[in-house]
Structure 1
Amino acid sequence: MSNFHHDQAAGLRRIMAAPKPRVVSIISAASTQDQPRMMTNLAASIFGQGSNVLVVHASQDSREVKYGVDKSPSLFDVIIEMNSEVLSLSEAISSTSYGFNVGKLMQKNQFNLAMDSNECELTNQLLGELAHQYEIVLVDATLNKDQLLPLKILNNGEIIIQLTRQPESITNAYALIKQICSQLGRRSFGIIVDNATDAQAQIVFRNISQVARRFMQIELEFFGSIPCDDHLSRAAKLGRSVIDAFPLASASTAFKQIAQRLDYKQDSAAINHMASIN
């Protein structure tokens, strides 16, 4: 019962503190992780719960092909060409067979360019407008040369660190948290542990959260674990999400649970339901 009340209180705090618009940046601390596969399954799970989702590629790593946006203009391109009306926003946003939409923030060669203040503000406003059109925006993100996310709306939004049980990944996750806080000050972070059972993930989370609390006075929040499940690769080969192809797989259950925690509309409904029966 105590675990329920703890989870309920944490969920209510997230709902009350949820920034509007909803923008969630996920940064991987695992160098070998297939981030697009994780983002695709998570976005498909949120969409499956009835929420409109936009996935934005905002990474220095070349992952555009896996999102199918390698030949698409970026949101920054739209801003640059805004006066000439050569590009429209609709050209930068694509629909996917999974149900959600996808776009990219910048071309790879634009990521570390110094945007002038007007371009930066206009791009920030454009992403903000998109975030008002969707119930949740998931951002596949990496830090830029300034150890920040490339736009103010991303740095002010929610940030989740994805890591594995590997010592290198845990070290990288802690380093990311330190780097961001050195620029933005103390703030909270979410944690997703990949390739782990829930019990294994809880151990990883407990260890890193204790260190973060002790040395930086930072509170971390556990968003869930993703098990090692060959249904993920099998679904990817079929060009489908795991919840669509193999709805009873352990990975499908995990993604549904994380999706519910990320989607406050669903999280709020679940908390209200649980509260009504206790």
Structure 2
Amino acid sequence: MSRPHPVQVIAVTGGKGGVGKSNVSVNLGIALSQMGRRVILLDADLGLANIDVLLGISAKRNLAEVLSGECDLRDVLVNGPGGVRIVPASSGTQRMTQLSPMEHAGLINAFSELGDQVDVLIVDTAAGISESVVSFLRAAQELLLVVCDEPTSITDAYALIKLMNRDYGVNRFRILANQVRNEQEGKHLFGKLTRVTERFLDVALQYVGMVPYDEAVRKAVQRQRAVLDAYPRAKASLAIKALAEQVDSWPLPTSPRGHLEFFVERLVGSNT
């Protein structure tokens, strides 16, 4: 087996539903893939298989079958647009925090076998701050928090930052303003969030840009296509490409804990 190489693990989260988190995950994955990165997208929204619906794909196998030994993780992967491979949400994912020691070992082994075939793992989490969401956030190296200019989005984003910082010592968050009119509005939204976090928490928030409100996104959703795939020159698509260029410059993990099997070890170990 080849030596494992560092894998960038990015959890995309939103605190609340409706902020466009899954759209960001899918299109960021496609943009990175177009730049030559090998991308796997893990749909970790356990209750709603959002990515399946967004892209009009249907999965024939799930992670439960991997754990039972009926198939390999490679059999579960679904080919998405732009070369992105998807691990779909399934009943198997829901059990990831309740695994037996043997299942832990099997899951770690399954992911480690993919380690030499992936550069970036994007984890599209569910909305909210459930135990399952927190598990994925704790396991990832990078947290990309998607916010929109609504009081509930800012309040829920703050609640998530506070929980991850105070309970788990996470102190770095990358912030993406979504569904805003322009860069100025995106920075204004980021300012609102930083003002409240600076008063009460010891965290570093980094503004990574904005994705504008774009009718092309709604049209793409109706067509069950990714906007980057259906409308590559749309304003939202260009903004996602700019985000991908930033992500591509983020430092890769240098310690062994940057290897893919360590992501899974942290994930399944965070609930033991």
| Structure 1: segments with no counterpart, 5+ residues | 1-18, 268-278
Distance across 1 between alignment mates of 2:14 and 2:97: 22
Aligned-residue offset at 1:25 = 0.6
Distance across 2 between alignment mates of 1:122 and 1:151: 18
Aligned-residue offset at 1:156 = 4.2
The question of whether the paired residues in 2 share the 8 Å contact of 1:98 and 1:241 is answered with no
Bigger Rg, which one: 1
Q: Secondary structure at the match of 1:223?
A: strand
Q: Which moved more, 1:142-151 or 1:93-102?
A: 142-151
With the length of structure 2 as denominator, give the TM-score of the two structures. Answer: 0.77
Distance across 2 between alignment mates of 1:95 and 1:169: 32
Partner of 1:224: 209
Aligned-residue offset at 1:231 = 1.3
Partner of 1:249: 234
Q: Secondary structure at the match of 1:225?
A: strand
1:262 matches 2:247: yes
Aligned-residue offset at 1:216 = 1.5
The question of whether the paired residues in 2 share the 8 Å contact of 1:187 and 1:218 is answered with yes
Partner of 2:149: 165
The question of whether the paired residues in 1 share the 8 Å contact of 2:80 and 2:86 is answered with yes
Partner of 1:39: 25
Distance across 1 between alignment mates of 2:136 and 2:249: 23
- Kindly provide the amino acid, as one letter, of the partner of residue 116 in structure 1: S
Aligned-residue offset at 1:105 = 6.0
Q: Secondary structure at the match of 1:115?
A: coil
Number of equivalent positions:
244
1:59 matches 2:49: no
1:74 matches 2:49: no
| C-alpha distance 102-72 of structure 1, shift in aligned 2 (>3 A) | same
Distance across 1 between alignment mates of 2:151 and 2:95: 29
Aligned-residue offset at 1:109 = 7.7
- Kindly provide the amino acid, as one letter, of the partner of residue 175 in structure 1: A
The question of whether the paired residues in 2 share the 8 Å contact of 1:23 and 1:158 is answered with yes
User: Which digits, 9 at most, give the CA deviation of each residue in 1:27-60, with x for residues without a partner?
Assistant: 1234223433332222111112222211111123
| C-alpha distance 251-109 of structure 1, shift in aligned 2 (>3 A) | closer
| C-alpha distance 76-123 of structure 1, shift in aligned 2 (>3 A) | farther
Instruction: Give the number of the structure with larger relative contact order, counting CA–CA contacts within 8 Å between residues 6 or more apart.
Output: 2
Counterpart selection for 1:96 from 70, 74, 80: 80
User: Which digits, 9 at most, give the CA deviation of each residue in 1:75-113, with x for residues without a partner?
Assistant: 3531x213xxx2122221011233211013652783575
RMSD: 3.0
Distance across 2 between alignment mates of 1:261 and 1:165: 22
Distance across 2 between alignment mates of 1:39 and 1:45: 10
| C-alpha distance 245-73 of structure 1, shift in aligned 2 (>3 A) | closer
